[in-house]
């Protein structure tokens, strides 16, 4: 009997998202979220078995509980208990692989990789480049290894899709020796999503990925843009860390780096305080107090001027990158919106391309606001560039890559 299930783990600093999928069809057997790991007070687990519609999206049978969660090991054990209650399991012979999202793979990892001691050591060596993300990813892998040492653990890196970015787009114009010694360059993130969405966009156009140039806009809590030429990424807005680029829910995106010196010298802030300010108290939240785009739009419509400014700053930055990537690519076949904001916020899509007819970009408002799910075009027939909404599915992509690797 060939094992066909893949468990996908996305470990954050205080959370663990998991999905069990049956491959190669990608059918969801269960999804879950474990929150408040290692924090004061009880943690929380929400587990959703596959609904009657078979894709796990339905809320039927959803279970929720509070429990002590001192660390990631406790979180994964709790997830294992929920899976076992559905007759699934971390130690099931049906399990072909456990796929892990790892945020920073540096320039070392250009492909999904089966985890061994050497791989663990390399992910550890990259911790200084992603101090918020890689330690949590490592904790998830080590815990899964301890619970089931027999099933292959596959690391899928956010940075992998971006390793094709040429040096002229990846190098910062700073002292070359300092940059080399400290590995300072643009790495880019959300690569699993940009890869998946750019491929799906080509499919939507009825073309092969090698034939099309696509700008993908991943707008979630974290947000990034990518320029993809013939299936290969040639530029992206995030950099050394996921702080650069677009305005995000709580992150600033691009600022003048001298803001950091100024805050240090004039405001007497420590590096840790500035780090926290730019990562957690900036972006939409910094500008108007809310990091949820739904709330920003609601307040803006009610006449709130801070929410209006936050929306306008967000859109201005997005349009700047859109224009930049038209220039980077030269010829653009499609622009694809994805992730929580990109897939749902019709107003963001409208504002992002308004008045860009000269670049071949336009939106048909009837298509933009239609209550349709799944990949779809929202540009008018006459437009030179297709504008699309293409839902991302990082978990499915991780499962697909992990399953292909262990069956290779
Ligand atoms: N209907 C909607 N309209 C506008 N924004 C939405 C809507 N639904 C979700 N969002 C936005 O999507 C964001 C989350 O995106 P998501 O891709 O799920 O984030 P994450 O980066 O955590 O995976 C939320 O912060 C919210 O602002
Ligand atoms: C890398 C990154 O920004 O990830 P997320 O959007 O999940 O925060
Ligand atoms: Mg997401």
- pLDDT per position as a tens digit, 363-380: 999 999 999 999 999 999
How large is the average pLDDT for residues 4-29? 93
CA angle 376, 378, 384 (to 5 degrees): 110
The answer as to whether 185 is a domain residue is: no
The answer as to whether 244 is a domain residue is: yes
pLDDT of residue 52 exceeding 50:
no
Gap between the Cα atoms of 52 and 32, Å rounded: 17
State the Cα torsion 112-167-394-37 to the nearest 10°: 90
Do 125 and 239 lie in one domain? The reply is no
Q: Which of left, alpha, beta for 132 (phi over 0: left; psi -120 to 50: alpha)?
A: alpha
The answer as to whether 201 is a domain residue is: no
pLDDT of residue 261 exceeding 80:
yes
Do 131 and 235 lie in one domain? The reply is no
Q: Which of left, alpha, beta for 363 (phi over 0: left; psi -120 to 50: alpha)?
A: beta
Give me the pLDDT at residue 305, please.
98
Which pTM does this prediction carry? 0.94
Give me the pLDDT at residue 91, please.
84
158 lines ligand 2 (CB under 6 A): yes
Please give the positions annotated as active site.
Answer: 158
Task: Select from 92, 125, 157 the last residue of a domain.
Answer: 157
How large is the average pLDDT for residues 230-256? 97
Least distant ligand from the CA of 221: 1
Do 23 and 128 lie in one domain? The reply is yes
Mean model confidence pLDDT for the chain = 94
Give me the pLDDT at residue 271, please.
96
Do 139 and 218 lie in one domain? The reply is no
Closest-CA residue to 231 (of 136, 343, 115, 329): 329
Domain range for residue 376?
206-394
The verdict on whether residue 218 carries a ligand-binding annotation is yes
- Counted domains in the chain: 2
Do 261 and 371 lie in one domain? The reply is yes
Do 213 and 115 lie in one domain? The reply is no
Give me the pLDDT at residue 1, please.
59
Name residue, tokens 């013939």: 230
Question: How does pLDDT run across 163-196, given as a tens digit for each residue?
Answer: 999 999 999 999 999 999 999 999 999 999 999 9
Task: Select from 157, 188, 219 the last residue of a domain.
Answer: 157
Gap between the Cα atoms of 160 and 109, Å rounded: 6
Burial of 355 (0-12, 13-18, 19+ CB in 10 A): exposed
Give me the pLDDT at residue 59, please.
57
The answer as to whether 164 is a domain residue is: no
Do 132 and 218 lie in one domain? The reply is no
Closest-CA residue to 198 (of 224, 163, 230): 230
Do 242 and 372 lie in one domain? The reply is yes
221 lines ligand 2 (CB under 6 A): yes
Q: Distance from the CA of 221 to the center of ligand 1, in angstroms? A: 6
pLDDT of residue 106 exceeding 70:
yes
Gap between the Cα atoms of 395 and 98, Å rounded: 11
Question: How does pLDDT run across 287-302, given as a tens digit for each residue?
Answer: 999 999 999 999 999 9
pLDDT of residue 123 exceeding 80:
yes
How large is the average pLDDT for residues 93-119? 95
Do 128 and 222 lie in one domain? The reply is no
How large is the average pLDDT for residues 253-269? 98
Give me the pLDDT at residue 362, please.
98
Atom number, ligand 1, closest to the C-alpha of residue 219: 17
With the most atoms of ligand 1 within 8 angstroms of its CB, the residue from 12, 196, 220 to mutate is 220
User: What's the pLDDT band for 18 if we cut at 50, 70, 90?
Assistant: very high
Q: Please answer whether residues 197 and 317 qualify as being in contact, where contact means their C-beta atoms are separated by less than 8 angstroms.
A: no
Least distant ligand from the CA of 342: 1
Do 84 and 227 lie in one domain? The reply is no
Question: How does pLDDT run across 128-160, given as a tens digit for each residue?
Answer: 888 878 999 999 999 999 989 999 999 999 999
The verdict on whether residue 91 carries a ligand-binding annotation is no
The answer as to whether 325 is a domain residue is: yes
Give me the pLDDT at residue 58, please.
52
293 lines ligand 1 (CB under 6 A): yes
The answer as to whether 369 is a domain residue is: yes
Q: Distance from the CA of 339 to the center of ligand 1, in angstroms? A: 7
Gap between the Cα atoms of 392 and 170, Å rounded: 25
pLDDT of residue 51 exceeding 70:
no
Task: Select from 157, 185, 216 the last residue of a domain.
Answer: 157
The domain that holds 66 is classified in CATH as: 3.30.420.40
The answer as to whether 284 is a domain residue is: yes
- State whether the Cα torsion 207-209-213-216 is positive or negative: positive
Q: 52-66 burial, b if ≥16 CB within 10 A, otherwise e?
A: eeeebeeeeeeeeee
Do 142 and 286 lie in one domain? The reply is no
Question: How does pLDDT run across 295-346, given as a tens digit for each residue?
Answer: 999 999 999 999 999 999 999 999 999 999 999 999 999 999 999 999 999 9
Q: Which residues contact 284 (CB under 8 A, 6 or more apart)?
A: 247, 248, 249, 250, 290, 291, 292, 293, 296, 310, 314
List the residue whose alpha carbon is closest to atom 7 of ligand 2: 222
Helices and strands (H, E) in the chain, number of each type: 15, 14
How large is the average pLDDT for residues 380-397? 96
Do 237 and 332 lie in one domain? The reply is yes
The answer as to whether 265 is a domain residue is: yes
With the most atoms of ligand 2 within 8 angstroms of its CB, the residue from 133, 251, 291, 293 to mutate is 133
136 lines ligand 2 (CB under 6 A): no
């Amino acid at each position: 009997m060939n094992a066909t299930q893949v468990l996908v783990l996305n470990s954050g600093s205080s959370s663990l998202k998991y999905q069990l999928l049956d491959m190669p069809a990608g059918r969801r057997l269960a999804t879950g979220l474990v929150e408040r790991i290692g924090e004061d007070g009880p943690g929380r687990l929400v587990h959703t078995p596959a609904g009657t519609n078979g894709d796990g999206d339905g809320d039927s049978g959803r279970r929720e509980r509070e429990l002590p969660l001192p660390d990631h090991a406790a979180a994964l054990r709790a997830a294992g208990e929920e899976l076992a209650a559905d007759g699934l399991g971390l130690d099931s012979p049906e399990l072909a692989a456990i796929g892990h999202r790892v945020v920073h793979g540096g320039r070392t990892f250009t492909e999904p990789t089966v985890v061994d001691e050497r791989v663990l050591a390399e992910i550890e060596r990259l911790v200084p480049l992603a101090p918020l993300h890689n330690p949590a990813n490592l904790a998830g892998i080590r815990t899964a290894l301890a619970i089931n040492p027999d099933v292959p653990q596959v690391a899928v890196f956010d940075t992998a899709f971006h390793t094709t970015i040429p040096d002229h787009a990846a190098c910062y114009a700073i002292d070359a020796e300092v940059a080399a010694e400290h590995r300072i360059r643009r790495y880019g993130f959300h690569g699993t999503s940009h890869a998946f969405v750019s491929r799906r966009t080509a499919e939507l156009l009825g073309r092969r990925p090698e034939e099309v140039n696509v700008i993908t806009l991943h707008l979630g809590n974290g947000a990034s843009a990518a320029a993809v030429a013939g299936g290969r990424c040639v530029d992206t807005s995030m950099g050394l860390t996921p702080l650069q680029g677009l305005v995000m829910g709580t992150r600033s995106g691009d600022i003048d780096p001298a803001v950091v010196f100024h805050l240090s010298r004039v405001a007497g802030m420590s590096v840790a305080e500035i780090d926290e300010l730019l990562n957690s108290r900036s972006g939409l939240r910094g500008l108007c107090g809310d990091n949820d785009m739904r709330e920003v739009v609601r307040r803006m419509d009610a006449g709130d001027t801070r929410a209006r400014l936050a929306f306008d700053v967000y859109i201005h930055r997005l349009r700047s990158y859109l224009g930049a990537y038209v220039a980077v690519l030269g010829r653009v076949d499609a622009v694809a919106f994805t992730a929580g904001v990109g897939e749902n916020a019709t107003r963001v899509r409208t504002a992002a391309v308004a008045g860009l007819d000269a670049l071949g970009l336009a939106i048909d408002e009837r298509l933009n606001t239609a209550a349709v799910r799944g990949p779809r075009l929202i540009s008018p027939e006459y437009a030179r560039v297709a504008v699309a909404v293409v839902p991302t599915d990082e978990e499915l992509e991780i499962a697909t890559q992990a399953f292909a690797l262990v069956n290779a």
